[in-house]
Structure 1
Amino acid sequence: MNIAFLCGCLESGSDGVGDYTRRLAGELTRQGHRVVAIALNDRYASDWARGTHRDRLRKDANVIDGPIVFQGGDDVGLRVLRFHSSLSWGERIGSVREFLRTQSPDVVSLQFVPYSFHPKGIPFRLARRLQSIGGDLRWHLMCHELWVGLGSSPPFRHRLLGAIQRRILASMIARLRPCRVDSHASPYIELLGKFTQHVGRVPLFGNIPVEPQQVPRDDSGPIRFCYFGSVHDGWGIEDAAGLLHRIAAPNGRTPQICAIGSGGAGAAAAWQRFRTAGVPVEEHGRCDEPKVSALLQSCDFGLSASSPDLIEKSGAAAAMFEHGLPVVVTRAPIWGDRFVSHVRQNCPLAVFGDAIDQPMKLERRQPAEHALPEIARRFAASLSTN
């Protein structure tokens, strides 16, 4: 297939959806598809154009003078076209229109997050602008996020902003008439079904490639729980610490957290509260991908502060699942038991609810497995048949 991806930003390591797009596009290229990734609102693009990051380019890359850049992807010659956010939307849309006219893609896949295209998450004119690229284009829409204010009792400002974002998304679907609208999480798929019947699920793959390790199993030391990513407000840390003790105690062992990443502003206080609750924390900070993969494989479980309903869209959880880790989900479901069966089916290594009440029966670490190649094959197959 000939596939064009559209997203906000493609700077490696600086945008989660951009990293997702690069990895998916790169894998599809490896599998023989013709792929280009286009960033429409990339505040890092000017650095590439000035040459600051040209040392990252592969030898076969062709750098065009100005804010538009082609570059080699990771291990493949992925074609990338990037537009700086300071350019007028007229310039960006006009250039994309002309470029896609020369490429004749079979499908244009929009990787959508409201905040990728507007700093406050309200890209009012985006649907109309994209529609103007070409009425004969065949669109696909991948919704990584829908709108804020989902769940129980959100604050008024989130309800108001969420209502605006919902209308923007509805307009996007109505104007582009995508052949398919996908998301990762079961609640999102149900909500999207109110706009179109052509809805599906694309599983999320991890953003850390598996680096096979020979890790001996140690049943005598602490049970290691990996936490990967940022620490957010509202996490019931004392309750989470209690869960970790409940899992470790029947085995005559103690819990220990292996924390990977900067963790954000609240991390230091959170880890100190875990230590006060009797759970030691081993902090590793930012690490390169091979080191992260090795640390994941040194642990017995993953640990997530997400809710079970949304674990399907957690990039950190996806990375832990791929590394064979059962992931202990410490928050209560947002929507009660409504999506529990879907989550258990789609994420069999997610540990939550009554499963924690039987710690001796919990799944143990499984062999690591690359998920991306199969997800890419299924993604391409779904676009070719819809």
Structure 2
Amino acid sequence: MRIVFVCGSLEPGKDGVGDYVRKLSKELIKNGHQIWALALNDPFISYTFQSLIPLGNGEPLELRLPADLPAKEKVAKASSFVCSIDPDFMSLQFVPFSFHHKGLPYQLSGLLKQFGKDRKWHIMFHELWIGMDRQSHMKHQLLGMIQRQLIKGLLRKLNPVLVHTHCSVYLHELKKLTDIAQRLPLFSNIPVLDPYRVSQKMKQDYTLSDELSIVLFGGIHSGTPIKAFAAEAADYAKRNQKNLKLIVAGRNGPELGDVVKDWEQAGLPAIILGELDNNQLSKLLTELCFGLFTTPVLLAEKSGAVAAMMAHGIHLICVAREWQPFGPVQKQNPLHIPVYEIGKLAQFFQTQPDFSKNVSVRSVSEQFIANLSNAESYG
């Protein structure tokens, strides 16, 4: 197949969706497909960049358009790029904030319609709208209503042959807008450097470990009950004579200071590593057994940090604020990850992890092509 992926940015290591596009593209290219990538709103460059020859590492040819480029010029450059390729499919990798700094990409559907006219479209919704949960602020709920309408208009204008999303909660919402939505699992963007060692770690008995180093990788959400978790963790370590510390890696956001403070006030050490490259991160995650994340468990399926830690054999626990969507929930815990409750932390350390939900880029790419082929047959 000839496929053009369209996303916001393709800056390596700076944009999760861009990294996703690169990794999926490399797998598809390896399997004989012809892939191109178009960054339509890239804030990391100040000029138009186009690769003219393959880079030699299996990555797709790409066109990157700076965020401040006028819409008319974006259409002209993107049209020329797409016409020269004549793809079988255009694949939009959608996150509202990738195409507009306030998450309101009013012009997006019009731009896509202009340079992708009469093309077969696929849309992957990495994100939908904010304010989807009962606990969200009214301001977010109102903004989310506008974002939902924009998504509804996007579906109407592009008339895609196939729609994907990673998350079961999002799939439930998308099915209210279209009958062609399907779930495509999320793979890890972080390559596993030592698959054998990770596979051996997954077979060991996690309950026997005396070193309870807990890794927190990625963004930290507000409202996380870290203070209660840290106090209970300290008590568990003392009663069971375990060495316990927190290791924080990645881009964590403004909540990091409060998390470290709560952890240290509980009498436990915290090590802040900051951003690591993929090799450093893979080595770290391979060494450790336990981890936590602060994304609500209903949204864990769309978390790149969760996917990366699971791929490296990390026994995870969700430590997050309450997040309950307005609509009914069909799958309360789709990845079967333990959720922290006060007084029940010991159960986490005394149970074996479930890695049955792990997926690979290979399996995802195979499903992606199979779903597209089926859509093409019936489209």
| Contact 2:224–2:321 (8 Å) recurs in 1 | no
Match of 1:323 in 2: 312
1:352 aligns with 2:339: yes
Q: Is the 8 A contact 2:96 2:103 kept in 1?
A: yes
The answer to whether the 8 A contact 1:251-1:360 is kept is no
Residues 298-324 of structure 1, C-alpha deviations (whole Å, 9 max, x = no match): 212120111110111111111001001
Report 1:1-386 matches (<5 A).
Answer: 1-46=1-46, 67-70=49-52, 72=54, 75-212=57-194, 214=197, 219=208, 221-242=210-231, 244-245=233-234, 252-331=241-320, 334-335=323-324, 339=329, 341=331, 343-344=333-334, 347-348=335-336, 350-352=337-339, 358-359=347-348, 361-364=350-353, 371-386=360-375
* Cα deviation digits, residues 7-31 of structure 1 (max 9, x gap): 1111112212111111111221122
Q: Separation in 2 of the partners of 1:252 and 1:232?
A: 31
Q: Are residues 73 and 160 of structure 1, via their aligned partners in 2, closer, same or farther at CA, if it must alter by over 3 Å?
A: farther
Distance, in Å, in 2 between the alignment partners of 1:4 and 1:200 is 20
Letter in 1 for 2:289: D
TM-score, normalised by the number of residues in structure 2: 0.87
User: What residue is the counterpart of 1:59 in the other structure?
Assistant: none
CA contact (8 A) 1:185 1:201 kept: yes
The answer to which of 238-247 and 24-33 deviates more is: 238-247
Q: CA deviation at 1:360?
A: 5.9
Shift of 1:108: 0.5
SS at match of 1:119: coil
Deviates more, 1:182-191 or 1:229-238: 229-238
Deviations 1:40-94 (A, max 9, x none): 1112333xx5xxxxxxxxxxxxxxxx54444756821421111112221111112
Secondary structure at the residue paired with 2:18? helix
Code of the residue aligned with 1:10 in structure 2: it is: L
Aligned-residue Cα RMSD (Å) equals 2.8
Instruction: Summarize the Cα distance change of 1:38–1:378 in structure 2 as closer, same or farther, 3 Å threshold.
Output: same
Q: What amino acid does structure 2 have at the position aligned with 1:183?
A: T
Amino acid of the residue matched to residue 339 of structure 2? Answer: F
The Cα of 1:243 is off from its aligned counterpart by 5.3
- State TM-score, norm by structure 1: 0.85
Report the more deviating stretch, 226-235 or 193-202. 226-235
User: Cα distance, 1:111 vs. partner?
Assistant: 0.5
Measure the CA separation in 2 of the matches of 1:316 and 1:37. Answer: 23
CA distance in 2, matches of 1:340, 1:325: 26
What whole-Å deviation, never above 9, does each CA across 1:144-201 have from its counterpart, x for those lacking one? 1111111014222212211111110000001111111111111111001111010111
Cα distance in 2 for residues equivalent to 1:285 and 1:267: 11
Offset at residue 342 of structure 1 (A): 5.9
Q: What is the CA-CA distance between 1:114 and the residue it aligns to? A: 1.0
Aligned partners of 1:228 and 1:316 also within 8 Å: yes
- Specify the code of the residue in structure 2 equivalent to 1:31: N
Q: 1:119 to 1:318 in 2, by over 3 A?
A: same
Equivalenced residues, count: 365
Q: Tell me the equivalent position of 1:63.
A: none
Cα distance in 2 between the residues matched to 1:277 and 1:378: 46
Deviation, structure 1 residue 263: 2.5
**SS class of match (1:335):** coil
Letter in 2 for 1:36: W
Q: Which moved more, 1:287-296 or 1:314-323?
A: 287-296
Does structure 1 conserve the Cα–Cα contact (< 8 Å) formed by 2:248 and 2:273?
yes
- Tell me if structure 1 keeps the 8 A contact 2:227–2:263: yes
Change in Cα spacing, 1:329 to 1:153, as seen in structure 2 (3 Å) is closer
Q: Deviations over 1:248-286 (max 9, x none)?
A: 578542432121124333313321211211332122222
Mean Cα deviation higher: 290-299 or 170-179: 290-299
SS at match of 1:195: coil
